[in-house]
Structure 1
């Protein structure tokens, strides 16, 4: 009995000793992983993410490890939005309207009437009042906004040339799934076709669609110049990539890491825009070097296109009071910026 009791005590003591932490590399604290996803690659979003990784890991002394997943490696926009809300994807970047599955108000930044040009958009995004309105909204949807960047104004890449609004009649154009973009393209007489980004190039090659409404950076990165070499430079709205962090995940972090994430996200914006301005010029050259062409509408046609799209925006807003309220708040701030 004594020997049995001693044996049990020895086993218990050994187990307790095994639970006592020991010094050394094997017990070093593991970094917190932050998966950062986007749909595109080799563009302004990807560049931001690479710089964010470098700066945040340095700022946190590698307590956070940023893993970058471009080119929809973590799924399409609906999956990324869901991952942000659930905390299974820690961060994501994409044009705001990609997240309409979480709330229709996300499309507001791409609605015509907010921004006059890329430079104007950048100045507006710097205004604290504008940021506060936007950040309050995203936080209410379970996402912390840590960055607002400018991609470019909208263009249309086509398989066959177009120089007038009438040339777009009946053409099937890929769009994002937001109501405003679909309505805007429809107002030009084209047929909007919502489609995820990885499906676009095969659809162009197979003739399932006749063109794409997006930005030049996407056209060049995904090499649309062979399948759809004719760009109609319409510039009817702007794409604003937003940098979102899961609120569920963010709230579990200590205060110093939260602060590092927010500060790193914001400080990258100025240099990211400078990089993008240079990249747009490079992309225009790359497009023409590959045989692509640019065309603009005549001044009268451009004015008519803008009028139609603005009217379509008002129709969308009339159906959604919360979207209209957010649009008007942001527009009021933007209209005061030169």
Structure 2
């Protein structure tokens, strides 16, 4: 397709539809950590159609174009990038949306599109591999590696020096209910693996509590006897989910505190906070959370005013950034080395 001052093949022009879609997906992943599977179906269908279109054009061109500019790059894209996405999902390195995004990218960008605008041709530093999907993947990895460096610099500039400064930052306790990520603290100190905040929301909704309730009466809610007989649906931990809040199976007030509270010393329970009961009664695993992780996280949040959390940067953000870089500059690794 030729426009005024441009030279862009029609399939390559249609591929640019992916850019605003992935921008929207990245923003949604940051805000909600939830991406509907329905968003990938139209993109995958478009990618399949464009793949056939490109194959037909390359076949008609014959020889070198068919073999080196279409067949080999497409084989790398579909035979390497797709399995990488699936395997990382299988072993727990990616979420389902991340894996689907890579598979869609492999279909949409199996070869190397070019965009000639005036005297400029993009990408500026194309990959010798010939598969733009591979470049997007490697760019995303480079961007992902750079994020901890940015976090460390941000924390250092603010005087927040801690072993976890490369993966997170501190926030007030009252922001925890609306924050995605992982708690980086236990009662004994900082940790690289703490309570998943989605799992915390699941637990609180299951019990019909707010974090404010827990902080006001921690001794009360440590007692597993206060677990409601008819718990609420835990939801999936999304910030936007709403459920009833009944505070447990018994009614307590400031004037009539729970008879289970001990005014002298903290009692010992077999299942503090009802953590094991919660995890055994819900469907699924609450993102792999263990009873010990849930109890330790609740102990921290019941007392601390400020806690360290890791936002766990969604992989779809580096993927989107890597896509924009791939379409404009090209391959970060090859371009910086050569």
Q: Which has the higher strand share?
A: 1
Name the TM-score class by shorter chain.
under 0.3
TM-score, length of structure 1 as denominator length: 0.21
Question: TM-score, normalising length from structure 2?
Answer: 0.21
